[in-house]
Amino acid sequence: MTRKLLLSLVLVMAIGLAKAQMNTAGYETWRPLYNSMVTWEDGAFNMNQIGHPDYGWGVYNGLSHDIEGDSIYLIKLPNGSLKQLFIEAKLSSSNIYKFRYADVTGENEVIEEARCVDYPDRLFLYYSLQNKAFVDRDPAKTDWDIVLTKYTDTTINYTVTGFLLNEGSLVSVYHAPNSTAALNSTINDTTVFKKDITVIGNSWNKVSGFSIIPLDTMVYFVKTASKSVYKLRTTFFESGSTAGTGKGRVGVAVQMLLPTLGEIVKDTLVMGNGYANDVYFSMAQGVTKTSPRTAWDIAFKANKYSASIFLNTTMNTSLYTYPKSFGEGISAWESLAIRQNTIDLTSIYPNPVSDNVRFNNKDWKQNSEVLFSVYNSAGKLVLNQSHTLDGTGFVSNFSQLANGIYHARMMNNGVYYSAKVLVNK
């Protein structure tokens, strides 16, 4: 059942995690969340989404155009530590995410802002929960077409080594009957181009025992964002599993086909020991950047119109939604973790309510606007309104809502406030 840890009917300011223990008993049996294998728009934090306005970790507010967090997560880091994490909001106009995390006890809270606005030319802004720092690790989006990395193949729930496709690029795959046909293949041998980020994936190799063997019959025709077309083949692989070898290398052969025919250029992508690096590759320029995969835990897609948040699933990082009653919806953050602030917040009356309820706060500026949202116990948005204060308060009508406990969220002058309201007719 959905855990309700805060049922007191008080108005509070949502600024931090509770000094309370998150119940993580049996978390290993909870359903883990993984990134999409199809698109960069669906990270692990988006996996419980049910469609607009719900984006998994939060719900779109049609008045403010922000996305307001409504889910709390349990994240297990590579060092084995457990954290509770909350994506509080995405401020859409400024392209900034607000998030916070702490130990499962509520101690050692960290509050951060992911300023994607400062990285308009990148695909993601990365963050390390372990180091409490942002990481600038990928090149500009225009400087790469594919990245050699490790990712979780959700069809087999296993980590694989493969190529992921950049946004704006397309790939057509040709399964040649033999290596000679692959070498001599042309764009006329295939016509279907796809944009799935794993369209190449790990199809370039087969696993024999503990060895990865490139397939010399696989050919990839890559159409870049600039509409140039290249032919790509993998030529060799050297294991990176032996410490100190400096290997973990993949050889590729690239040839421009359009707009003009070019020479075959061979290059080597070095993932290193343990395949620990991501290698960003441009069809025109070759390797443009190599970045260690251990440097980050979560990543915010930098596009202003995106709500995608990825997880570094390949470095023993795991993510779970809390509470774990997935079929019953996801409770709002305040139902699990919130603490009162010293700001003097006044009254809600009447409470319980049958129809009209008034919200007052002496710190609100007279005649200013309050954006007002109400969620039911399953986390579903049931009211979305804007009110101009009459004095330092406003009235909302709850008569259409069924009996139960509701979570009200208000924003005034950029500050969020929360309340629990009981409807009892």
Q: What is the pLDDT of residue 226?
A: 93
CA distance 96 to 420: 27
113 three-state secondary structure: strand
Q: What is the DSSP letter of 92?
A: T
Residue 48: pLDDT over 90? no
- The letter for the amino acid at 396 is S
Q: Which of 4-13, 56-65, 280-289, 387-396 has the highest mean pLDDT?
A: 280-289
225-237 pLDDT, tens digit per residue, is: 999 999 999 999 9
Residue 286: pLDDT over 70? yes
The per-residue pLDDT of the chain, averaged, comes to 84
More confident call, 48 vs 228: 228
247-280 pLDDT, tens digit per residue, is: 889 999 999 999 999 999 999 999 998 889 999 9
Residue 287: pLDDT over 90? yes
Q: What is the pLDDT of residue 8?
A: 24
Residue 371: pLDDT over 70? yes
Q: Where are the domains of the chain?
A: 17-137+296-335, 141-292, 348-423
Q: What is the pLDDT of residue 19?
A: 38
When mean pLDDT is compared across 117-126, 221-230, 312-321, the lowest value belongs to 312-321
Q: Which of 97-106, 122-131, 332-341, 402-411 has the highest mean pLDDT?
A: 122-131
331-355 pLDDT, tens digit per residue, is: 333 333 333 332 334 478 888 899 9
141-166 pLDDT, tens digit per residue, is: 999 999 999 999 988 888 999 999 99
Q: How confident is the model at residue 364 (pLDDT cuts 50, 70, 90)?
A: confident
Please name the helix (run of DSSP H) or strand (run of DSSP E) that holds residue 216, with its range, or none: none
Average pLDDT rounded to a whole number, residues 300-318: 94
129-143 pLDDT, tens digit per residue, is: 999 999 999 999 999
Q: What pTM was estimated for this model as a whole?
A: 0.76
Q: What is the pLDDT of residue 378?
A: 63
Cα angle: 262, vertex 264, 266; to 5 degrees: 140
Class of residue 298 by CB neighbours under 10 A (exposed 0-12, middle 13-18, buried 19+)? buried
- CATH architecture entry for 348-423: Sandwich (2.60)
Q: What is the pLDDT of residue 217?
A: 95
When mean pLDDT is compared across 59-73, 80-94, 159-173, the lowest value belongs to 59-73
Q: List CB contacts of 252: < 8 A, sequence separation 6 or more.
A: 232, 233, 234, 235, 266, 267, 268, 269, 281
Q: Phi and psi of 39, rounded to 5°?
A: -145, 150
User: Taking Cα atoms as reference points, which of 286, 201, 212, 283 lies closest to residue 249?
Assistant: 212
More confident call, 329 vs 347: 347
